[in-house]
Structure 1
């Protein structure tokens, strides 16, 4: 039944998508953690805005400008994280479909083994897109960190001038 394929080719064809599924799972886990950190930061910023509105913080105008910018950055990061997670889930699904398709085609339609390869390639493309989105999101995180440092430096300068 499998005359044209060696057992190692069949095994590697079935295991490769499984390894890629494992890689996607690791990225999904770490990406979900990143989304959780964004949620925590937004809650912290919300608390700061509430304190400002109650008049419990100095430099209200400067802080409000800072908070608006930070919330904007966090909103963009959350969108990028969500999109990357969608691509990671799609890649995982495609890798699983690829493995199942290879098994099915080897058992019943040997001439159609190219279909499993196409599905696996699409999974790889989705994994690449998710990785690119995560890279782009990390740049926004750097923006957030730099802006925080700049605001702390502003507060330090204001304190020294008093």
Structure 2
């Protein structure tokens, strides 16, 4: 094994710190994505409870059929959101693993005399690619979330209009177009 000089050791340690910046950014995305996942889980539980209460007649509200249909549509959209978040977390955790691998392979590369440089470089590139893919998934999930908000607003505007016009609760509800994935 070749002798390693102190300046080479410091250069190696400095190079190993660089992936830590990516790890920090990825960790922040993981935390915020996990929080989004928690909100989705809470909303699914709330919608399930609401649908159950409406289905049993446990709530004294008007337009029950419309509300049940709305809950069903919202639950379908929550499934899409939860799938996107699950994929995002998988990508971000894989990116984190690749950044850790980058850091470790830089140390091994230094110990072996520098002939493994392609390994940490490849791991870093793959990690950045996965992080980019995770960000794209987060954009998709945010768009679904905002479309859900719009659907909520439109539903309650519809209820307000039906009440104002004195319409009888509908038994058949027009189904909104399917969600684009």
Counterpart of 1:22 (choices 12, 21, 24) is 24
Quick one: distance in 2 between partners of 1:155 and 1:137? 27
Indicate whether 1:95 and 2:99 are aligned: yes
Q: In the alignment, which residue of structure 2 is the partner of 1:160?
A: 164
Say if 1:90 and 1:123, in contact at 8 Å, map to a contact too: yes
Quick one: distance in 2 between partners of 1:2 and 1:83? 43
Give runs of aligned pairs for residues 25-44 of structure 1, distance below 5 A: 25-44=27-46
Counterpart of 1:125 (choices 122, 129, 137) is 129
User: How many corresponding residue pairs?
Assistant: 161
Q: In the alignment, which residue of structure 2 is the partner of 1:46?
A: 48
Quick one: distance in 2 between partners of 1:9 and 1:136? 40
Say if 1:52 and 1:60, in contact at 8 Å, map to a contact too: yes
Output the TM-score relative to the length of structure 1: 0.91
Q: In the alignment, which residue of structure 1 is the partner of 2:171?
A: none
Quick one: distance in 2 between partners of 1:159 and 1:113? 70
1:2 to partner: Cα distance: 5.7
Deviation readout 1:97-156 (Å, 9 max, x if unpaired): 101101110121412112110011111111111111111111110111011001111111
Say if 2:40 and 2:78, in contact at 8 Å, map to a contact too: yes
Higher normalized helix content (fraction of residues)? 1
Q: Structure 1: 5+ residue runs without aligned partners?
A: none
Q: Structure 2: 5+ residue runs without aligned partners?
A: 167-181
Quick one: distance in 1 between partners of 2:39 and 2:141? 13
The CA RMSD measured in Å over matched residues stands at 1.8
Classify the secondary structure of the residue corresponding to 1:111.
coil
1:18 to partner: Cα distance: 0.5
Deviation readout 1:51-85 (Å, 9 max, x if unpaired): 21122332122112211110011001001101100
